């Protein structure tokens, strides 16, 4: 994969012959032996070398197929459907008017697992001082409800949140009561390793329509190799509860094609040779999708990085293999989605903004999400909080009970993060063909390159996104009818209204 596009094949096009005034602004990139052209409105088209030359020289006549192809994609200024494109831009950027909708409560750092990749973000089981108190929990919920966003998701993270179960229960009841007046579209998500789940807790959570998410790193030999639980069998327990919870959804009459435990893998070096086994495991336990993510550098012990880390080329090869395994499964009638692809396809084919906070411009730091540490300190996002665990409070944006919502979300750190993650202001991104669909991460830039803005030319984040989008654009261009239908389906995710809390008093 080349990181940058080679020069245009237009040695024969002198500046005097360039006729760009007939076209909307566009960027180009060499993909799959052709030129991928993209506009700032998010349309794309593939053209051959000679076609690009004729486009640039203004030698395409309206009766040509090339003219029609580019007209359908809104490349020509003449005849541009301005109303449609204005509405599209308005819809895609509507998140700018919302405010933080994701509120991550770290209710404890304690965890009974000692997973090899998160030494820096968990605490021992006797570290009770890392439990969030009821008082800080209430102040956190009060702060979250100040958001201008009409929807509000409270996500419980840790450590292992079930270790501090009384605070989880209290937050849910307290937030539901507040929402009787606030009337927001309120949801709860619990991210748990499931080791402390029991039937009583499960019934309580299901009664309150809490979404349950967990970690599953693959078959037992992979999962238990990194997710170490000295007192128990991590894989066996997680799989047993995933199946039990999915069964309970069915018993409560929920659509089994829509409501399942959401599981997430952490891809380590040990996973790389086992892409297909990982996907098969997800299907076997009843999952309907997988989110293939590169191992984050945040909160990651250097010793573990030596053992579990890998370079981006290795990840991209793994990603491509896993993606093909997922497509093959769908051909066999198994409805299963790769969610990173779905985020990009929603933008590329659906012309929508799925509001995935790490792949949007600007990113969600402080304006789309807030992370609440157990001690009441606020961070731009969970990743920013993890940097703090290493003793660097760069991404702290306030303290609950002390700082006003308005000051926090418009403070210097949040503004710096928004500027650093706005692609038009990023050298490299501003002229990249993938700008309409991409996003950058200032925390990643800071961790990898020492600055919020970073340098995309040698950023692994950029390399990952470019590699994935090169691959997806190639797959879109070559797609057969089955794949075209599949990719369109992935581009239009279904809502899950059951997780929205009923409004009104309880
Ligand atoms: S800084 Fe990075 S992790 Fe934080 S919200 Fe932005 S993209 Fe996501
Ligand atoms: S981060 Fe995304 S938009 Fe920026 S240069 Fe890389 S691929 Fe292009």
With a cut of 70, say whether residue 356 has pLDDT above it. Answer: yes
pLDDT of residue 40: 94
Question: Is 438 close to ligand 2, i.e. is its CB under 6 Å away?
Answer: yes
Q: What is the pLDDT of residues 189-204, one digit of tens each?
A: 999 999 999 999 999 9
Residue among 371, 416, 421, 456 whose CB has most ligand 1 atoms within 8 A, to mutate: 421
Residue among 296, 297, 357, 359 whose CB has most ligand 1 atoms within 8 A, to mutate: 357
Q: What is the pLDDT of residues 127-147, one digit of tens each?
A: 999 999 999 999 999 999 999
Question: Counting atoms of ligand 2 from 1, which one is nearest the CA of 466?
Answer: 7
Question: Is 441 close to ligand 2, i.e. is its CB under 6 Å away?
Answer: no
pLDDT of residue 2: 44
Averaged pLDDT for residues 38-62: 95
Instruction: Identify the band that residue 48 occupies on the pLDDT scale cut at 50, 70 and 90.
Output: very high
Q: What is the pLDDT of residues 279-316, one digit of tens each?
A: 999 999 999 999 998 887 665 555 677 788 899 999 99
Could you count the other beta carbons within 10 Å of the beta carbon of residue 235? Answer: 21
β-pair type (44-47, 102-106): unpaired
Rounded percentage of the chain residues whose pLDDT exceeds 90: 87
With a cut of 70, say whether residue 53 has pLDDT above it. Answer: yes
List, as one string, the DSSP characters of 341-359: HHHHHHHHTT------TTS
pLDDT of residue 3: 47
pLDDT of residue 1: 42
Averaged pLDDT for residues 336-357: 95
pLDDT of residue 302: 56
Question: Is 462 close to ligand 2, i.e. is its CB under 6 Å away?
Answer: yes
Averaged pLDDT for residues 58-75: 95
Instruction: Identify the band that residue 36 occupies on the pLDDT scale cut at 50, 70 and 90.
Output: very high
Q: What is the pLDDT of residues 214-249, one digit of tens each?
A: 999 999 999 999 999 999 999 999 999 999 999 999
Centre of ligand 2 to C-alpha 135, Å, is 42
Indicate the helix (H) or strand (E) that contains 166.
Answer: helix 165-182
d(CA 371, CA 125): 22
With a cut of 80, say whether residue 361 has pLDDT above it. Answer: yes
Averaged pLDDT for residues 2-31: 72
Name the more confident of 21 and 290: 290
Q: What is the pLDDT of residues 443-491, one digit of tens each?
A: 999 999 999 999 999 999 999 999 999 999 999 999 999 999 999 999 9
Tell me the CB-side half-sphere exposure of residue 312, using CA atoms within 13 A: 16
pLDDT of residue 9: 53
Tell me the CB-side half-sphere exposure of residue 219, using CA atoms within 13 A: 12
Instruction: Identify the band that residue 12 occupies on the pLDDT scale cut at 50, 70 and 90.
Output: low
* Minimum CA distance residue for ligand 2 atom 2: 438
pLDDT of residue 299: 58
Calculate the average pLDDT of the chain: 93
Q: Which residues contact 235 (CB under 8 A, 6 or more apart)?
A: 216, 219, 220, 223, 224, 227
pLDDT of residue 303: 60
Long-range contacts from 222-227, C-beta under 8 angstroms, 24+ separation: 222/270, 222/271, 222/274, 222/277, 222/278, 225/270, 226/115, 226/116, 226/117, 226/266, 226/268, 226/270, 226/308, 227/113, 227/115, 227/193
pLDDT of residue 306: 78
Residue 401 CA: distances (Å) to CA of 103, 137, 241, 378, 395: 16, 10, 37, 11, 18
Which of the residue ranges 6-20, 252-266, 282-296 would you say has the lowest mean pLDDT? Answer: 6-20
Averaged pLDDT for residues 85-90: 96
Domains of the chain: 15-92 (no CATH), 99-215+364-420 (3.20.20.70)
Indicate which ligand has the atom closest to the C-alpha of 104: 1
DSSP 365: B
């Amino acid at each position: 994969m080349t990181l940058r596009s080679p020069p245009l094949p237009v040695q024969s096009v002198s500046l005097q012959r360039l006729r760009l005034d007939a076209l909307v602004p566009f960027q180009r990139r060499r993909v799959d032996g052709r030129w991928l052209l993209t506009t700032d409105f998010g349309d794309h088209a593939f053209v051959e070398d000679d076609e690009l030359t004729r486009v640039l020289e203004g030698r395409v006549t309206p009766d040509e197929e090339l003219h029609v192809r580019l007209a359908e994609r809104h490349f020509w200024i003449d005849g541009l459907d301005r109303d449609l494109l204005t509405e599209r831009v308005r819809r895609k950027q509507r998140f700018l008017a919302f405010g933080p909708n994701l509120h991550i409560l770290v209710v404890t750092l304690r965890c009974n697992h000692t997973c090899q990749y998160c030494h820096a973000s968990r605490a021992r089981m006797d570290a009770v001082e890392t439990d969030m108190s009821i008082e800080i929990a209430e102040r956190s919920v009060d702060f979250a409800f100040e958001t201008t966003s009409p929807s509000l998701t409270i996500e419980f993270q840790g450590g292992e949140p079930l270790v501090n179960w009384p605070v989880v229960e209290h937050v849910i009841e307290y937030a539901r009561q507040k929402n009787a007046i606030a009337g927001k579209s309120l949801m709860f998500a619990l991210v748990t390793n499931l080791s402390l789940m029991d039937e009583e807790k499960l019934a309580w959570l299901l009664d309150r329509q809490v979404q349950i998410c967990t970690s599953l790193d693959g078959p037992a030999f992979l999962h238990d190799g990194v997710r170490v639980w000295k007192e128990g069998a991590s894989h066996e327990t997680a799989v047993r509860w995933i199946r039990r919870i999915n069964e309970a959804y069915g018993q409560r009459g929920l659509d089994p094609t829509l409501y399942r435990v959401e599981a997430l893998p952490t891809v380590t070096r040990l996973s790389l040779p086992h892409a297909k086994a990982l996907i098969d495991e997800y299907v076997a336990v009843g999952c309907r999708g997988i989110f293939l993510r590169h191992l984050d550098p945040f909160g990651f012990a250097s010793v573990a990085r030596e053992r579990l880390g890998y370079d981006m080329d290795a990840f991209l090869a793994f990603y491509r293999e896993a993606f093909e395994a997922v497509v093959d499964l769908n051909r066999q009638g198994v409805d299963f989605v790769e969610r990173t692809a779905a985020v990009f396809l929603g933008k590329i084919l659906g012309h929508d903004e799925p509001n995935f906070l790490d792949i949007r411009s600007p990113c969600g730091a402080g304006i789309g999400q807030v992370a609440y540490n157990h001690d009441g300190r606020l961070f731009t996002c969970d990743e920013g909080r993890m940097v703090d665990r290493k003793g660097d409070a760069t991404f702290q944006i306030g303290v609950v009970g002390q700082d006003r919502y308005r000051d926090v979300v418009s403070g210097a750190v949040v503004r710096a993060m928004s500027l650093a993650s706005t692609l038009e202001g990023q050298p490299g991104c501003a002229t990249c063909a993938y700008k309409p669909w991409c996003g950058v991460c200032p925390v990643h830039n800071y961790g990898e390159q020492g600055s919020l803005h970073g340098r995309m030319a040698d950023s692994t984040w950029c390399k990952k996104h470019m590699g994935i989008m090169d691959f997806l654009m190639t797959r879109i261009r070559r797609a057969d009818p089955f794949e075209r239908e599949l990719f369109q389906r992935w581009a239009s995710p279904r809502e899950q209204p059951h997780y929205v809390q009923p409004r009104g008093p309880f």
